[in-house]
Amino acid sequence: MSTSLTTCEWKKVFYEKMEVAKPADSWELIIDPNLKPNELAPGWKQYLEQHASGRFHCSWCWHTWQSANVVILFHMYLDRAQRAGSVRMRVFKQLCHQCGTARLDESSMLEENIEGLVDNLITSLREQCYDEDGGQYRIHVASRPDGGPHCSEFCEACQEGIVHWKPSEKLLEEEATTYTFSGASKPSTQEGSGFNFFSLRWCLIGASLCLLIVYLQFSFRGSSFL
């Protein structure tokens, strides 16, 4: 998937959803590869998507890889008097770790993932630009951080100082719930292991006592015959 096609998909989904969310206002989406985190002009707001799911393609060695740690930066501004707004967007790239090329490659995303990410953007936009209750952010299974280590030296976002491979607060809550549920089953396993250990120990002690009694009986009988 080419960069232009990806850009067209983003704009198509954004304009369609903004037409429903804010039909009285005019919004534009601009792709800005030079956008910097936390460097905001007066009146601008920022939204950072830290766990988007995308696929990268290396044009040098043709290696492709999936990543659940794609970072997308949005800067938003609303001119209330003109009823016009602007969103600048940057998708951070990743290096190919297969060939080690210094060229950072673009990512492509499925349309259903783009729709979810645009929903998150509009939620943040309504909260920060319109002072409204934006609703709930969408968290997809596909967007959850993968279990493998994150190679920050291959990540453009990490080079920009964005620490993004840690789960978000909502994901931490989910993980805490899962851990609590899993942890509840651990004591029973440990108790079961402890019971088996002590049972074996008592069996060995009982067997030793039996052998000692048998030995004493034979010793006593032998002394009686003498």
Amino acid residing at 105: D
Domains in the chain: boundaries? 2-166
pLDDT, position 186: 39
Give pLDDT tens digits for 183-217. 333 334 344 434 444 455 666 777 777 777 777 77
- Strands in 26-31's sheet, in edge-to-edge order, are 26-31, 84-91, 64-79, 45-57, 107-108
Largest separation between any pair of C-alpha atoms in the chain: 120
Give pLDDT tens digits for 20-42. 999 999 999 999 999 999 999 99
85 burial level (CB within 10 Å; 0-12, 13-18, 19+): buried
Which residues, 6+ apart, have CB-to-CB distance to 21 below 8 Å?
122, 126
Length reported for the chain:
226
